[in-house]
Copies of this chain bind each other. A is one copy, B any other.
């Protein structure tokens, strides 16, 4: 065997073991017994240590030194393996294992603190998680920016400085749009329930199928915070239900379907290799958001969904499809990011992006985080946070150590804006099909342009290849301004 074959054989097993780790995480958030958390933490730490040892294996360094990739695919595989090896060799094995152990336990502590709206009960644990991730960031950055070192895990090649510039260009237009909407005389209709939760799950499954999610290679379960887990032949999605309104369930589902389809649709030739998964969180989010928003919350699909909802729930207190469309797209300055409308969503991200940079760089203490959150929220959203579960405790990301992850959500929205502009030009029939509950013209285009490539190209590269243009915040903002001006008669 030549060096490339040895490298790929070794890596294939590493990727398979990484899938196992993902399966444990899925299990933990959906079906794991309550009392199993301490034991599970040790299981995760042991597996993390195995993965770390494989990634840092000196043989990998030797093979990497010898290898001469003979085509673009081999070149991309080697690039990803080298990236993973270099990252892993910078972080001590004990630190990796400790992070796995602590973040596994911290999730349960967070869930309990969140249920009791008690940030103080969670703060020491968050401090421990933050401290470990800062140690890791320092090991990775080797003198460069500590926050960028973490960001690079989720969005390779991206920098906080670049994102800050991009977000600065978005903010005035988003704020202006938000103020016009909230100052307008139009109010969105509200739905009236209750909405049977098993029926919501049935309709969620129908939505997933409409968007091309393949249940032979995945499943749909409930979770407190919906997520997608697993690559290739086993990419599972989750959603949540509330008896008061059904849209959270449907649009969480369609959002996760975007993630799940990205994973399911990667070319089978990349299965269990470094190219066999989505290339970055930002590109991932572009898929979930375009499925959820540009496609899922448009007039075409809401027309179809309205018919299904009428059969399941009656008139829901709405006048008809226009009223349903307005209800789905209601703009309200709510507390919860995952329930936020398209106009407010990125303001939530900006808040977290700034706070987590301050935490990681040491400009903000965990003890002061809740106050900082609440002050910033009041300033940006005009209302005071009423309880920690509506504020600083709402998201699972920081509790499990995901610092540097949040900005990829807004980046994904920007990418989704670019992709939607190109899709409309390339696939004129997308909308008439979607009105029949058939997303395939749109999702086939996304599959061919983005999803099938897995991690073959760099994040910005795959988007720019798909659109034929440089990345810009304009398409997203123009889409939002047009859509909501129409909805709110601005």
Contact = CB atoms under 8 A, between A and B. Distances in A.
Contacts of A49: 13
B272 A34 contact: no
Nearest to A217: B35
Contacts of A42: 12, 16, 272
Interface string A138-172: 00000000000000000000000000000000000
Interface stretch (A18-26, A378-386, A458-466): A18-26
B233 A47 contact: no
Interface string A61-101: 00000000000000000000000000000000000000000
14 contacts: A14-B46, A16-B42, A16-B47, A17-B50, A23-B24, A27-B27, A33-B217, A33-B233, A35-B217, A35-B233, A36-B217, A36-B233, A39-B232, A40-B234
Contacts of A219: 31, 33
Contacts of A40: 233-234
B234 A39 contact: yes
Nearest to A17: B46
Interface in A266-311: 271-272
Stoichiometry, copies per complex: 2
Chain A contact residues: helix, strand, loop or mixed: helix
Given A17-B43, A19-B39, A42-B16, A33 B234 contact: yes
A215 B271 contact: no
A185 to B, nearest CB: 49
A14 B46 CA distance: 8
A272 B19 CA distance: 23
A20 B43 contact: yes
A58 interface: no
Given A17-B47, A46-B17, A35 B214 contact: yes
A236 interface: yes
Interface in A232-257: 232-234, 236
A392 B14 CA distance: 38
Contacts of A234: 32-33, 35-36, 39-40
A12 B16 CA distance: 22
A218 interface: yes
A216 interface: yes
Nearest to A218: B33
Contacts of A46: 13-14, 16-17, 20
